[in-house]
Structure 1
């Protein structure tokens, strides 16, 4: 069977990197096995995936990203370099696949594509002014990390919600109260039920304790959507 071919780039390109990696892998969520051959030449990424499985290309893209991210993290540890990267395209002619990846997460990008970005950004910026604004900025940063790091989506989603809890407690004078009171107030302001928050926490708990955990694209979309719903309603009412 023809391998899946992925291409991309390591950035910044001015810090040149070349690596050759071949390894076997097992997808945690599905248990499907495969072999990855990765060639990075002057920061240009080429990846061949050998697998008999008929992959969802987003799940396989996340596998490829995870493998490369892990190796770049090791390079970072060894050299003190903070590389980033992106995977831009996947090809497999026998499966009639030729797809250029965007930067969007479809389940989120499709929520409201009529938003006036300038107006919405101004309103958000107003909410981040003052000493409590740092908590909202941390929430937004974690939401972006949840989109970027598929295997750690639950961790970042829940930490974003925890930042909202701290923000909610601060603006309502509950910072000295116990967590149960703070969570109850967050649920009240955001119109969220306890089950929704607990489901996000359940996705985060293994990751918060250093355990391996992964979700497929469908489960990840549900988690992201639930998290964004909580954040949206909180910001609308805060």
Structure 2
């Protein structure tokens, strides 16, 4: 491992999706933040970022920050073309050595199993709920986007939980008391601590209102874990409720 005080030269590589149309920039785009300087080049749907910087204390958060800058440049291209484009970082190499490889999967969110296969008995309740519950589909879509967008992770995780909260509000009004009751139902029935939800809400506030706030990799991980826990408990609660109703009908 390189000393943290040493200035290093690194190359960050990635793809721009959809990558079948050969996206490109005519010129290299220089940018900087902190004491680091960068040069972004895009050709044939691939990008390279040349980096000159001190070795970061938190490489994962550093990659998130770089990814946000790259995505902003790619969004600029997409804006001009009226096309949604997504930048995906694949790896970072330093002094010719690949030190970080970015896969799409988050092993830290899994229970020790990072394979691409999911047992049917685990997947079926989730797919059944997704087919029948529009609010869950919205929550899952937000969590997908939360894993991709560093700057939006916390806000999207909270919005995913808000979609689940809406399920508990079905049939009630939209007044303050109704909202409080639906949040209470979510916390009680899914056994989620209010302190955790409040902390996530406060952290998401700036982005929800159009602002921005630095988010570390650890904070992203914490937000995703909470939102995933809410989704998993909701699916289990919904399944048990349906089974109880079916049992009563048969009885």
Compute the TM-score of the two structures, normalised by the length of structure 1.
0.86
Matched residue of 2:121: which SS? helix
Matched residue of 1:2: which SS? strand
2:19 is matched with which residue?
Answer: 13
Q: Please give the per-residue CA displacement for 1:34-53, whole angstroms capped at 9, x wherever unaligned.
A: 11111111222111111124
> 1:87-106 to 2 correspondence within 5 Å?
87-93=89-95, 97-106=98-107
Counterpart contact for 1:166–1:175, Cα < 8 Å: no
1:174 is matched with which residue?
Answer: 172
Counterpart contact for 2:9–2:95, Cα < 8 Å: no
Counterpart contact for 1:136–1:163, Cα < 8 Å: yes
Alpha-carbon RMSD across the aligned residues, in angstroms, is 2.1
Deviation at 1:164, TM superposition (A): 0.1
Counterpart contact for 1:107–1:225, Cα < 8 Å: no
1:162 is matched with which residue?
Answer: 162
2:226 is matched with which residue?
Answer: 226
> 1:107-146 to 2 correspondence within 5 Å?
107-110=108-111, 116-130=118-132, 133-146=133-146
Counterpart contact for 1:190–1:231, Cα < 8 Å: no
Q: Which moved more, 1:49-58 or 1:69-78?
A: 49-58
> 1:179-194 to 2 correspondence within 5 Å?
179-194=179-194
Change (3 A) 1:144 1:111: farther
Deviation at 1:234, TM superposition (A): 2.2
Distance 1:85 1:215 in 2: 18
1:24 is matched with which residue?
Answer: 32
2:242 is matched with which residue?
Answer: none
Distance 2:88 2:169 in 1: 37
Change (3 A) 1:55 1:176: closer
Please, which of 44, 48, 54 is the counterpart of residue 50 of structure 2?
48
Matched residue of 1:18: which SS? coil
Change (3 A) 1:75 1:181: same
Matched residue of 2:19: which SS? coil
Q: Which moved more, 1:101-110 or 1:111-120?
A: 111-120
Across the two proteins, how many residue pairs are aligned to each other? 227
| 5+ residue gaps, structure 2 | 1-6, 239-251
2:86 is matched with which residue?
Answer: 84
Change (3 A) 1:125 1:55: same
Deviation at 1:169, TM superposition (A): 2.2
Distance 2:80 2:160 in 1: 30
Deviation at 1:60, TM superposition (A): 2.0
| 5+ residue gaps, structure 1 | 27-32
User: Which has the greater radius of gyration?
Assistant: 2
